[in-house]
Amino acid sequence: MILSLSKDTIEVVKEQDVVFTKNRVKEVAVRIKMGLVNQTRLITAASELLRNMMRYANGGKCTIEVVSSGRTNGIRLTFTDKGPGIPDIAKAMEDGFSTGKSLGLGLPGTKRLVNEFDIRSNVGEGTTVTIIKWANG
């Protein structure tokens, strides 16, 4: 059972919004006393997902939540876009696969950096990625 303690949604359209969003994630992570290495993992994961959203969907929304599992607190980030969607999610999660010119590390790499990772996508409708990082997980 995961409880949401606070919620904050940011529209991400411009490159400055990306910087702003990463700073907000950092602030929240510091507030719940997340360790430095976990903070770095979470913000790096956010950075990857924000770039995907900007590159493939021309932006979207990012929701930052403080969540509690009872035992420990964490941060849940939800990235929602109305882009073209991902036709083959299994393929997109493979290391080294990219439809753009990137290294193809974004999605699989992000999954390795966080505790929970969920991706849902419908072609023509958009993509939602949800990640959770526990403060000391």
Partner 1 sequence: MDKIPILRMGAFLLVTIQVDLYDRLALNLESDLIQMVDKTRAKGVLIDISAVSIVDSFMGRIIGNIASMSRIMDAQTVVVGMQPAVAITLIELGLPLKGVHTALNVEKGMDLLKSMIDLEEEDEDQDLTEDDLIAE
> What does the alpha-carbon distance between residue 10 and residue 79 come to, in Å, rounded to a whole number?
10
C-beta of 14: minimal distance to partner 1 in Å? 11
Among 106, 130, 131, 132, binds partner 1 (CB under 8 A): 106
Among 56, 82, 93, 108, binds partner 1 (CB under 8 A): 108
Q: Which residues contact 72 (CB under 8 A, 6 or more apart)?
A: 134, 135, 136, 137
Q: Which of 26, 15, 99, 100 is nearest to 59 (CA)?
A: 15
Q: Which residues contact 49 (CB under 8 A, 6 or more apart)?
A: 77, 79, 106, 110, 129, 131
| Smaller CB separation from partner 1, 68 or 137 | 137
C-beta of 48: minimal distance to partner 1 in Å? 5
Amino acid 61 reads: K
Among 44, 68, 115, 128, binds partner 1 (CB under 8 A): 44
Q: Which residues of the shown chain bind partner 1 in the complex (CB under 8 A)? A: 15, 18-19, 22, 36-37, 39-41, 43-44, 47-48, 51, 95, 102-103, 105-106, 108-110, 112-113
